[in-house]
């Protein structure tokens, strides 16, 4: 297995993996690739692209956002994701960034993958349809350190501090807020 930056030759293959397992639109994928080509890394079995990991610079000058990571199904559970992440981290260090941050999918296997690779939960992000937001959400979330609220068209994002990984607390927050999703924002400091 070889891990390297994805060249233009493999862009379409990388996008197909993204399309199958992740959610970036082709326009966003192309824009990020054009602006941050060295933050698109791939896992290659001979010359076959079998996994991708990509991101882009954050507005905060010290951070890179990890936007997506995936391997094709036949290569799951073989350590390729962890190796892709290591290659991505090397590329981030070359940019002299200090941190990688990501929004983690809300399933336990994905959360544990990032924990195993030394990513730490820093926040909960709750996404709630405006019509479902409890009027008394502030009193319902006692015991959680509120950070900020962001309004979107038909939904609200609420951010709370997370000091450690606690799946029961994440699930409880989701129920209390009638949220359609609560995810961890995770971070890794690069040394």
> Looking at the 3D structure of the chain, how many domains does it have?
2
- Give the residues of the chain that fall short of pLDDT 50: none
Give the SS3 label for residue 178: coil
- Going across the sheet that includes 40-45, the strands are 2-5, 40-45, 48-57, 63-71, 99-104, 181-189, 120-129, 155-161, 146-151
Please say which residue of 63, 97, 131 terminates a domain.
Answer: 97
Q: How far apart, in whole angstroms, are the C-alpha atoms of residue 43 and residue 63?
A: 23
Q: Could you list the residue range(s) of the whole structural domain that residue 91 is in?
A: 2-97
User: 69 with 156, same domain?
Assistant: no
Smallest CA-to-CA distance from 103 within 4, 12, 22, 9 is with: 22
Q: How far is 51 from 134, CA to CA, in rounded Å?
A: 41
Domain match, 29 and 81 both: yes
pLDDT of residue 120: 97
Whether 55 and 13 share a structural domain:
yes
Give yes or no: residues 7 and 42 share one domain.
yes
Alpha-carbon separation of residue 97 from 64, 90, 145 (angstroms)? 7, 10, 27
Q: pLDDT tens digits, residue range 79-127?
A: 999 999 999 999 999 999 999 999 998 889 999 999 999 999 999 999 9
The 3-state DSSP composition of the chain as helix, strand, coil percent (nearest 5) reads: 40, 35, 25
The whole-number pLDDT of residue 190 equals: 94
- Which pLDDT does position 187 carry in this prediction? 96
Q: What is the pLDDT of residue 60?
A: 78
> Are 129 and 92 found together in one domain?
no
Radius of gyration of the chain (CA): 18
**CATH code where residue 134 lies:** 3.30.70.260
The answer to whether residue 114 is domain-embedded is no
Residue with token string 């606690």: 166
Residue 115 in domain: no
Is 108 within the bounds of a domain? no
Do 7 and 82 share a domain, yes or no? yes
* pLDDT of 138: 85
């Amino acid at each position: 297995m070889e891990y390297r930056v994805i060249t233009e030759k493999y862009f379409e293959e990388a996008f197909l993996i993204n399309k199958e397992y992740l959610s970036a639109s082709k326009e966003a994928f192309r824009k990020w690739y054009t602006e941050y080509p060295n933050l698109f890394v791939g896992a290659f079995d001979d010359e076959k692209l079998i996994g991708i990991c990509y991101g882009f610079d954050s507005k905060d000058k010290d951070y890179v956002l990890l936007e997506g990571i995936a391997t094709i199904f036949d290569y799951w559970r073989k350590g390729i994701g962890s190796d892709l992440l290591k290659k991505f981290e090397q590329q981030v260090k070359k940019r002299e960034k200090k941190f990688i941050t990501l929004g983690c999918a809300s399933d336990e296997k994905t959360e544990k993958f990032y924990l195993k690779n030394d990513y730490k939960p820093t926040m909960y992000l709750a996404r709630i349809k405006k019509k479902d937001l409890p009027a008394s959400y502030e009193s319902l979330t006692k015991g959680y350190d509120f950070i900020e609220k962001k309004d979107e068209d038909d939904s609200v994002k609420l951010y709370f501090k997370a000091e450690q990984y606690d799946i029961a607390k994440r699930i409880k927050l989701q129920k209390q807020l009638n949220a359609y999703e609560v995810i961890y924002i995770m971070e890794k400091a690069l040394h």
